[in-house]
Each structure stands twice: as structure tokens, then as C-alpha cells.
Amino acid sequence: MMNVLAMILAGGQGDRLSILSEQRAKPAVVFGGHYRIIDFALSNTANSGITKVGVLTQYRPRSLVNHIRAGQAWGLDRLDSHVQILQPYLGRGDMDWYQGTADAVYQNLYMIEDSKAREVLILAGDQIYLTSYNNLIAYHRSQAADATVAVYSVPKEDASRFGVLDLDQNGRVVDFEEKPANPRSPWISMSVYCFNKDVLVEQLQEDANRGDESQHDFGKNIIPRMYQTHRVFGYQYHGYWRDVGTVESYWQAHMDLLDERPELDLAHEDLKLRTPGPIQPPAKIGPKASVQQSMISPGAVVNGSVYRSVISPGVVIEEGAEVRESIIQHDAVVRAGSVVERTIVDKEVDVGSGSHIGSGDASIPNQERPDIVYTGLTILGKRAIIPPQFSVGRNVVVGPGVQDELRDKPGLAAGETVHPVHMPLHLFV
């Protein structure tokens, strides 16, 4: 696929992931114990033999840039292959903060025009799936399409959260609605697009000329206009795919990994999931530990009980501690006698001995953000320190670095939020 260019959209602010993406871009959030969400899009391009990749960043890109570096993990650091980090900047008349997904690509049009690409893949950087794009590109070419949208079938009651496409018997797009109240089709857009290069340049320039009449978004503007005048087809994808744009979907994607025969195989021989970083020592399971239906990453030490949970590298679960249906990220400590259930614990959190995290009534939503934290999941931010014998209810959000703010509290009731009084600079990574 030497004549295909991939552009990965990785700059959006993941507001619906709550504090997990408060200080980092959503694609930089840890996934599956050892990986970052961006690893899936980059690994998929590597699995497809694509050697020219642009990563469009904007919101708090430091963690993401540090993670990708020169692209060595994905074979993008060679003379004939490379990855470019494309960040917006002010100072030129034709540059500004990205106003939408299409505008982000438009502001980097020079990379597309200078490439020798025949097609351009536009990829979302915040989705969980392992594939090769070769079949998508072959389908696009066989249909003599101007653009092809990867589509995925979901129950109609769930389709209203996505862009919904209607396809004719030949797979051509004949209708497109963004988040319709009553979807007529089960096919939703995966926000994965294959464009003929010249058509994409033309469409982006036309969209930019519309100014405030357009939201400059592929799903809201480009595709809905194009299918009426161009050959736009839907490529039906049948593998595992999940958009992890919400706390609930992020948690559920981890729980999917724990099924007896998970659809997503992180150790797939052909579709390799790659990530940079040194190899961790093996996980250590103590003599009194109990681990059921869980993923334990290298470098973790488990002396307590773990049930249906995903444990990242360097995590310590002390003897007598219980972790149930939770996600525990790098170097966090769950101390003796504590219970953590249905909780997402960010990096380097210290859960004090005898504490109970995720207890009580799940029906009370988070008071500050009831729109995103309402399914009974509790979130502990990076490097928060929970005191011993402390109770934290469900749908609670504890901000990054919180420590002294909890000192005089007996606990946190369901739905509460605690922010740090001061945000240390080291939490921005």
C-alpha cells in the first residue's frame, strides 16, 4: 500500500471520558493494561503496509506525542516510511485551531497534495479494533468509488448515537443521517473513510469555502453532501469494533477482553497490536491470590483477589484487597483490606488500606456531570491518594492529584466530585 496515505484524527477533547482525558488527548488514554488507544489505529496502518501516516493532534497532545515519538514501534522510522505529528499553530493567516474533523485535514492539505498517494484514508484515533485496511481499499477500487465509508451493523435502538447510512443492494450509500431519532438502517459509520485523493482535495476546498455554513465535519457535512453527487459506497466491517468515547463504552471494551473467547485478540498473530516501551517483567501472583476472568499485565503484583478486571503494568494489589469489575492502570496500589469495584483507577493512584471504592447506590448520577457519569462507575484520577478506611460511592469522580482535599472527609457519597485545589504540572503527562 505504498500509494495510500493515512491521516489519523487524534486531536479531539474526549470530554465524555471524564477525568481520564482531562489532562491528555483521548487517544493517549491507556487501554488493555499495556497499550494506548492510538495504538490500534497505528497498528492497523502497519498491518496494511501503509508507510506514510499523519497524526493530527490538538487537545493536550504531550502524552500522545511522547508515546508515538518517531513511530519505531509501527515501523514508521525508516527512510521509506514515516509518521508526522500535525499540530495546529497560530501565526499564519491560513492556520487556526481545528474547527472540525474536515477542517483539521484541510489545514494539512499540503501533506496530501505533496504525497504520491492514490487514496487517502481518514481514520479516527479513538476506536478499538484490529484489522488490515487492504480489503477496504480493494473494495473501494473495485467499485470505482469516489469515497468509501466503513460501516458496522448495530441494533437499531443503538444506532441513533451514530451517523446512520442506508445502502442499496450494490452497497452504494443512498441516505445518510447524523444521529437520527428513528434510524431506518442498522448500518452506522465507523468514521473510517477512504477517498480518492483528488476528490478529497476538491471536497475539502469546497467545504472550507462554505465558511460558517458548515461545521467542517466529515460525518455532518462532507459525506451527507457527497453521496448525492458522487459514487459513495459502504464497506461492511464484521470484526470486533467499539467506539470508546464514553466512560461506559471504555469500561465495556475492557470487560469484552475478559470473555471466555473474546472477539478482540490482543495477541493476534497476523493483526499485531504494537506499542512502544520496554518489556516489563512477568506478573507475579502471590500464594494467597485469587484471579478469575481477568487480564494481568507484566510487572503487576497480585496478592489479593481480582475478578473480571484489567490490571496494568506495575500495579500492586496487596493481600486481603479485592478488585472486582474494574480497570486499574499503571503503578497504582490497592492496599490491604480495601475493596475496589466497578471503578476506573488512573495511573499511580494509592487506595488506602480498608477503603471501599464503588460502594452503595448506583442510581444516583454524578451531580456535576450527570450526562457522562451515571452508570454506576466510579473514576479515580491520576496520582490521587485515597485515605485508609475511606468510603467512595458510585458515580463519584476524584480528580487527578487529589489528596489533602479528602483528609477531613469521612467519605464520598454517590455522585460527588472532588477537584484538586492545585494541579501539579507533573499531572499533565
DSSP codes joined into one string, 315-374 = -EE-TT-EEES-EE-TT-EE-TT-EEESEEE-TT-EE-TT-EEEES-SSS--SS-TTTS-
How many H helices and E strands in the chain? 9, 33
pLDDT value for 61: 84
pLDDT of residue 91: 47
Euclidean distance between CA atoms 64 and 68, whole angstroms:
6
What is the pairing mode between strands 356-359 and 322-324? unpaired
What CATH number is given for 4-257 in this structure? 3.90.550.10
Rounded Cα distance between 357 and 380, Å, is: 9
Low-confidence ranges of the chain (pLDDT < 50): 91, 428
Among 192, 241, 186, smallest CA distance to 219 is for 192
| Cα(320)–Cα(312) distance, integer angstroms | 19
Domain boundaries, the chain: 4-257, 284-428
Q: What is the pLDDT of residue 217?
A: 93
Residue 1: its pLDDT value, please? 56
pLDDT of the residue at 428: 46
pLDDT tens, residue by residue, 3-34: 999 999 998 776 789 999 888 889 999 999 88
What's the topology of domain 284-428? Answer: UDP N-Acetylglucosamine Acyltransferase; domain 1 (2.160.10)
Q: What is the pLDDT of residue 2?
A: 66
If we measure between CA atoms, which residue out of 32, 25, 30 comes closest to residue 8?
25
